[in-house]
Chains A and B, each alone.
Chain A
Amino acid sequence: AQKITQTQPGMFVQEKEAVTLDCTYDTSDPSYGLFWYKQPSSGEMIFLIYQGSYDQQNATEGRYSLNFQKARKSANLVISASQLGDSAMYFCAMREGEEYGNKLVFGAGTILRVKS
């Protein structure tokens, strides 16, 4: 079974609008971490946001927030007030447990295009 599923291969959003990128995960470990990364066309991997499984509050970092629904095993990324520079590939990733360091499993990614 896929550990991380990103069901949206591509998304379009109008500039200044909000967009939600979906991510579901599969684990039986009670301790895990969820990450989102942005990969622009230049290729670098840019860290956006992190959510721990025991965190009570949804994580936020500027215009990025993570909608963490533990019972549904979903960790959707919400980008508010989209900008043209948000056009990129977005990856969701998960770390299971802590004993193996930050051994992340990545989803296949979602390409986001912001329209002016």
Chain B
Amino acid sequence: NAGVTQTPKFQVLKTGQSMTLQCAQDMNHEYMSWYRQDPGMGLRLIHYSVGAGITDQGEVPNGYNVSRSTTEDFPLRLLSAAPSQTSVYFCASSFLPGQGGEKLFFGSGTQLSVL
């Protein structure tokens, strides 16, 4: 199994550009989420989804969009990149709590720099 696959691993953008970070999982997980990690601040939740067609905002959603058209994929869109969005982005997935969701699986991360 591939687990949680994120692409790209590295990306450099100019201010104002848009892009999509891809996330796919092959474990049939209902729950998927995106986090960003900034130095000294741990991980903060951007958006999450508890199933196909269902998404909701996390702690820091501004400047980001998501959609969940399939169980497997959960792309994160940066609408107009800003230097404040320079960060490491992680996608994570799991079964729902109470249904095997005692472990959240993470992708390998995307290092994004916005100039």
Kindly state whether residue A45 has any CB partner on chain B within 8 Å.
yes
Chain A binding surface SS class: strand
Contacts of B106 in A (CB 8 A): 37, 44-45, 47
Report the Cα distance A37→B96, complex, angstroms: 19
Residue numbers in B under 8 Å from A33 (CB-CB): 97, 102
Contact present for B43 and A102 (CB under 8 Å): no
Q: In the bound complex, do residue B88 and residue A35 qualify as a contact, i.e. CB atoms below 8 Å apart?
A: no
| Chain B hits for A101, CB < 8 A | 30-31, 33, 48-50, 94, 96-97, 101
Contact B104 A102 (CB under 8 A): yes
Pair B42/A102 contact, Cβ less than 8 Å: no
Give per-residue flags for B31-73: 1 if the beta carbon is below 8 A from chain A beta carbons, else 0. 1010100001111110011100000101100000000000000
| B98 engages A106 (CB within 8 Å) | no
Q: Indicate whether A50 reaches chain B with its CB closer than 8 angstroms.
A: yes
- B75 contacts the other chain (Cβ, under 8 Å)? no
Interface size on B, residues (CB 8 A): 31
B35 to chain A, nearest CB (A): 8
Report whether A103 and B33 are in contact in the complex, using a CB–CB cutoff of 8 Å. Answer: yes
A47 and B103 within 8 A (CB): yes
The residue of chain A having its C-beta at the shortest distance from the C-beta of B99 within the complex is A98
Does A104 count as interface, using CB distance less than 8 angstroms? yes
Q: In the complex, how many angstroms separate the beta carbon of B66 from the nearest chain A beta carbon?
A: 14
Whether A108 contacts B42 in the complex (CB less than 8 A), given A50-B103, A102-B94, comes out as: yes
The distance from the CB of A40 to the nearest CB of chain B, in whole angstroms, is 12
CB closest residue in chain B, given A47: B103
Q: What is the distance, in angstroms, from B68's C-beta to the closest C-beta of chain A?
A: 12
Which residues of B approach A to under 8 Å, CB–CB?
30-31, 33, 35, 40-45, 48-50, 56, 58-59, 88, 90, 92, 94, 96-98, 101-106, 108-109
